[in-house]
C-alpha cells in the first residue's frame, strides 16, 4: 500500500476514531479507487472504507491473477497490477484508507436522517466515525462469499482453494478446476503453461464463460470434463486425488495437488439497505448524475442501477468520475461541474477544495 494513512484491522482502535474529510468513498474496488483519485484531483480530502483488509475489492479477493481485457488502454492487465496502478494513481492525494471495517450506519451530525446540506456521519462496525460532506458508494456487489464445494470444508488449506492468489503457487502441480464460468475457464487458460496438468470439471455440457475463452481452452492442453461433478476429494495430510462422477455414474480419479472451486459467490449489500437509498434487486438506483434519493449520497460501479446499465470496470470508472464531479458541486455550488482536463494542469491538481 502506497497511501500514507491506512487504518488496517490490526492497527485501528476498536472504537472512537474520528475521521474528518470532504468525501467518503465506500468500497475500495477499481471504481472506488478511481473515485479516490478523482476526488483528490477535485481538491477534496477523501477517505475510503472497505470491509476487506486490502484495496482492490472483488478483483483482489477473487481473481488477482486474472487478465482483464476490457480496460481502455490496456490490451490485457492482471487484476493485481490494475489495482496497484489505481492505488498509486490515488496516492499523490493521500486518501485515508479505513480497511477491514464495514460501513454500517449513515446519519447527519445530530444522529438523524440526512437532509440537504447536512454534514454526514458514517460509522463502521469497529466504531470508526467518518465525518464528511458527501458519500460515493462504490461497493461493487457488496460483501461476497465464494460458494463452497460440497464436501470440501476439511480440505481448505490442504489443497482446496477458491481463488488463485499467485499462478506460481501451482507450478508443477496437477490442478483440477471446478466450474463453468469465466473465472474457471480463465484460470484454466492461465495455468496451462504453469501447472503439470489442468483438468476443468463442469456439471453441465454448456459453459457460461465467454465463447472465445471456451474455444481457447478446448484447443489447449486442459482436459475438459463436462456433465460431471466432483464426488470426493482424497488425500492424507494433503490432497492427492479428485474423484469425478459422470452422469452415467462412472467415477474417474484424477491426480490433483490442488482443487480450485470457481462456483461463483453469494453477495450481500448488508447495512446499505438501511441507509434509506432506493433499491431495486439489491442495487442502488441513481440518476444521470449518479445521485441517489438521499441528499449528498452518490453511487457508482456495479452496485448501481439505471436504465441501460452495463456492468463493466470500464463503465464504473466513468461513473466514478461523474459521481465525484457532481458531489463536488453539491459540496460547493460555486465549483464548476467539469474541472477541465488533467493534462491541462501541470501540477495534476484540479479545483480547490471546498472552504
Give me 317's grid cell. Answer: 470508472
Name residue 121's beta-bridge partners: 107, 131
Name residue 167's beta-bridge partners: none
Q: Are strands 228-235 and 239-246 parallel, antiparallel or unpaired?
A: antiparallel
| Rounded Cα–Cα distance for residues 171 and 150 (Å) | 26
| 94 belongs to an annotated ligand binding site | no
| 343 belongs to an annotated ligand binding site | yes
| 37 belongs to an annotated ligand binding site | no
| 50 belongs to an annotated ligand binding site | yes
| 63 belongs to an annotated ligand binding site | yes
Cβ atoms of 141 and 58 within 8 Å: the answer is yes
Residue 266's CB is within 10 A of a number of other CB atoms, namely: 11
| Rounded Cα–Cα distance for residues 316 and 307 (Å) | 15
Q: Are strands 283-285 and 297-299 parallel, antiparallel or unpaired?
A: unpaired
Q: How many Å is the Cα radius of gyration of the chain?
A: 22
What are the residues whose beta carbons fall under 8 Å from the beta carbon of 209, sequence distance 6 or more? 180, 181, 182, 184, 185, 186
| Rounded Cα–Cα distance for residues 138 and 78 (Å) | 21
Q: What angle do CA 83, 64, 299 make, to 5 degrees?
A: 50
Residues in the chain: 355
Q: What DSSP character marks residue 25?
A: E
Sequence ranges of the binding site for FAD: 50, 58, 63, 103, 144, 302, 343
Sequence ranges of the binding site: 50, 58, 63, 103, 144, 302, 343
Amino acid at each position: 500500500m502506497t497511501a500514507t494513512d491506512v487504518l488496517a484491522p490490526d492497527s485501528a482502535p476498536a472504537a472512537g476514531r474520528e475521521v474528518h474529510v470532504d468525501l467518503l468513498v465506500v468500497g475500495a474496488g477499481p471504481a472506488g479507487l478511481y473515485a479516490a483519485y478523482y476526488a483528490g484531483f477535485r481538491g477534496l480530502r477523501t477517505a475510503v472504507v472497505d470491509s476487506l483488509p486490502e484495496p482492490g475489492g472483488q478483483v483482489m479477493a477473487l481473481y488477482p491473477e486474472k487478465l482483464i481485457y476490457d480496460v481502455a488502454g490496456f490490451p490485457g492487465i492482471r487484476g493485481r497490477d490494475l489495482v496497484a496502478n489505481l492505488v498509486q494513481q490515488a496516492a499523490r492525494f493521500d486518501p485515508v484508507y479505513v480497511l477491514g471495517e464495514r460501513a454500517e450506519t449513515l446519519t447527519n451530525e445530530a444522529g438523524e436522517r440526512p437532509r440537504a446540506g447536512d454534514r454526514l456521519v458514517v460509522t463502521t462496525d469497529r466504531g470508526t466515525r467518518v465525518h464528511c460532506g458527501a458519500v460515493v458508494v462504490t461497493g461493487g456487489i457488496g460483501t461476497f462469499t465464494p460458494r463452497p464445494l460440497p464436501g470440501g470444508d476439511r480440505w481448505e488449506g490442504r489443497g482446496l482453494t477458491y481463488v488463485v492468489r499467485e499462478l506460481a503457487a501451482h507450478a508443477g502441480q496437477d490442478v483440477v478446476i471446478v466450474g463453468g464460468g469465466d473465472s474457471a475457464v480463465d484460470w484454466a487458460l492461465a495455468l496451462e503453461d504453469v501447472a503439470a496438468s489442468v483438468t476443468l470439471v463442469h456439471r453441465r455440457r454448456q459453459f457460461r464463460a465467454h465463447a472465445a475463452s471456451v474455444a481457447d481452452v478446448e484447443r489447449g492442453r486442459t482436459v475438459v470434463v463436462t456433465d460431471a461433478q466432483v464426488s470426493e476429494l482424497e488425500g492424507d495430510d494433503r490432497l492427492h486425488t479428485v474423484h469425478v462422477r459422470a452422469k452415467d455414474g462412472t467415477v474417474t480419479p484424477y491426480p490433483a495437488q490442488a482443487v480450485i472451486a470457481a462456483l461463483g459467490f453469494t453477495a450481500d449489500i448488508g447495512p446499505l439497505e438501511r441507509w434509506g437509498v432506493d433499491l431495486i434487486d439489491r442495487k442502488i438506483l441513481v440518476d444521470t448524475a449518479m445521485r441517489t434519493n438521499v441528499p449528498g449520497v452518490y453511487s457508482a460501479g456495479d452496485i448501481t442501477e439505471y436504465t441501460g446499465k452495463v456492468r463493466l470496470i470500464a463503465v464504473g470508472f466513468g461513473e466514478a468520475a461523474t459521481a465525484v464531479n457532481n458531489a463536488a458541486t453539491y459540496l460547493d455550488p460555486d465549483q464548476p461541474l467539469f474541472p477541465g482536463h488533467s493534462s491541462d494542469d501541470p501540477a495534476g491538481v484540479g479545483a480547490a477544495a471546498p472552504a
